Structure 1
Amino acid sequence: MAKDGKPPAKRLGEQHNSLHDLVYDEIRSAIVNGRLKPGERLVEERLAEEYGVSRNPVREALRALSTEGLVDVSSRRGAHVAHIAPEKLQEIIEIRALLESHNARLAARHKNPVVLKSVEAILLKGQTALSVGRLKSLRDLNEQFHKALAQAGNSELLSEMLGALRARSALLFSPDNPERQALNWKEHAGILQAILDGDEDTAAKRAMAHVLGAGEAHLKALRSVADAESADQLP
């Protein structure tokens, strides 16, 4: 029994789901939510001890994540959280913008009331978190919003493709920038309203503008950091 009177949480090795899936989900979530940073080393022994499993499911999970582009694995350096170069990130942003645009159009066409009610609930949670300053919760809520929106498009293949791209571009929605977060959730509301109105063209345009705008803001921040580092290295 824990000190707070609650039973201790089970480690992954003590649960009954597929260990590979559990470990995969845990590491993927940590990368997407920013708990594991780009370039951070992923040591099999350490992760296995943390999760209460053997090294095999950890190794399998890291291999699966490498196929998604979230983890870099090499025989010499081991496994690290992938660091995506700005030019590659620009490509991901543009592709995601196109797919998010098409998905929003499909969502406006289908107008699935059950799924859209779920999207509305997540939007409200995000707006509430923003209003009270719970910025750290917004990254996860943003993932939930876009995942639910992808389901509203009623295309399993498109939803899977968007999931992979969201993981690679998760840092575009940084919780450290309150102004960008406020704009993100304002744009979320606009996309959802167009979908609820059944306005396919507006939903598609707003979804594309949302991803491109967030992407450009992130790339601008990256360039500013790079310029500052270059200036510091000057004699």
Structure 2
Amino acid sequence: MNAPLKVERPQLLTDLAYDRLREGIVMGELRLGEQVSEALLAQRMGISKTPIREALVRLRIEGLVEIHPQRGTFVFKLQPEQVGQLCRYRAMIETAALREAAELDLSHLIQRLQEQVREMEALERSGSLDRLSRVDMNFHYEILSCCASPYLKAGYELIRYQLAALRHRSPIPNMVSSHQVLLELLNKGDIEGACIELHNHVLENEARYIAACEVR
């Protein structure tokens, strides 16, 4: 006899709270460094504190919140030296993934990245600048998606949503052209040149990310 299929409502509420809070942090509804209250979040979302507490624990693993005993829970906020470390780590992971993805299937990689650039162009023309940071994130995540290494992918997940939050708060003015340069190098088959371009592109974000963390 088959066991009954039960809907785990508490787990579902935790998932919903987790998704909503992560979106709120990434999109700027919750400020970097802001203290958050389980009770107030539960009241705003119309649920109990238990799924909120469990969601915050999951967000801590992703680096989006910091939980300090006796002090409370805070949205993450990086010091300048931490931003530098984040950018260097990101550059290392992304360039390794780009090299591996290009060696695995260069034409597929180019196709996937070109699709993201086309979407960037459409959003720029329509003036939907608030959505550009999400496409920027997708562009870089495509590089990880096209590489075969589970270790590189897992390494990127450690910083993925911190990066998303910082990107949203510090959009780049030349998004299409800066990503098109990388595509042009890949189209020429210049993999090393593309890796150097990507490495420099990532490190150029450091000053903007530091400024984003300083906003109160």
TM-score band by shorter chain is 0.7 to 0.9
Is residue 108–residue 194 contact of structure 1 (8 Å, CA) maintained in 2? no
Q: Structure 2 length as normaliser, TM-score?
A: 0.80
CA distance in 1, matches of 2:187, 2:158: 26
Counterpart of 1:232 in structure 2 is none
Is residue 34–residue 171 contact of structure 1 (8 Å, CA) maintained in 2? yes
Matches within 5 A, 1:1-235: 18-111=12-105, 116-174=110-168, 180-182=172-174, 184-219=175-210, 221=211
**Residue 200 of structure 2 aligns to which amino acid in structure 1?**
A
CA distance in 1, matches of 2:69, 2:208: 35
**Residue 150 of structure 2 aligns to which amino acid in structure 1?**
E
Deviation at 1:159, TM superposition (A): 1.8
List runs of 5+ in structure 1 lacking aligned partners: 1-14, 227-235
Render the CA deviation track for 1:161-208: whole Å, top value 9, x for unaligned.
22332322335535665xx331x3322222234345543212211111
CA distance in 2, matches of 1:106, 1:52: 46
Deviation at 1:91, TM superposition (A): 0.9
- Of structures 1 and 2, the one with the larger relative CO (CA 8 A, separation 6+) is 2
Is residue 169–residue 212 contact of structure 2 (8 Å, CA) maintained in 1? no
**Residue 159 of structure 1 aligns to which amino acid in structure 2?**
K
Q: Structure 1 length as normaliser, TM-score?
A: 0.75
CA RMSD in angstroms comes to: 3.1
List runs of 5+ in structure 2 lacking aligned partners: 1-8
**Residue 195 of structure 2 aligns to which amino acid in structure 1?**
A
CA distance in 2, matches of 1:52, 1:116: 45
Render the CA deviation track for 1:122-169: whole Å, top value 9, x for unaligned.
221122212333221112222222222210122232123223323223
Is residue 17–residue 52 contact of structure 2 (8 Å, CA) maintained in 1? yes
Percent identical pairs in the alignment equals: 28
